[in-house]
Amino acid sequence: MTNNYIVKTVAESLQLTHKEILAIYNLEDKEITAEDVTDVLRDETEEKFILLIDEGLTLFLNGLITYKRGEPTKKFSKKRDEDLTNNLVLKKLRIAFNLKDEDMLEIFALKNIKLSSSELTPYFRKEGHRNFKKCSDSLLKSFLLGYKSYINKK
């Protein structure tokens, strides 16, 4: 799964315009152009498609947190691109969308993934913790698609 897919799916779920995506990046003091946003959101087969690197996704997710929740009183961790994992993406989306365990479980259930609260927690543990569990691409994709259904249901 590409970083572009994550941005596209989140943007579709929240019905974000290109202008709003641009504003999200600007919240992280990242100046990009409207054309850059268009190129990131293009289909991979299109000529002007730009593959979004981890740093670009991190900036988007951090900006999304600020966009959805307001300016944090305490700066949250800004992991560098080499540290970006599916677990961190899931965690940042959870923060941005202000989701509780029950919400997360409901979102996964919408994609027929049955998890208990104790099965969900390891995905938010620090890597190296004895209960840490790696989030797979398919689990993250299910969350993204489940969230789309979840907010349409609300």
pLDDT in tens, 42-54: 999 999 999 999 9
pLDDT in tens, 86-140: 999 999 999 999 999 999 999 999 999 999 999 999 999 999 999 999 999 999 9
CB 111 within 8 A of CB 71: no
At 81 the pLDDT is 44
Distance of CA 30 to the CA centre of its chain: 17
The pTM for the full model equals 0.90
pLDDT in tens, 69-94: 988 766 555 544 458 999 999 999 99
Distance of CA 73 to the CA centre of its chain: 21
Angle between helices 34-41 and 18-26 (to 10 degrees): 110
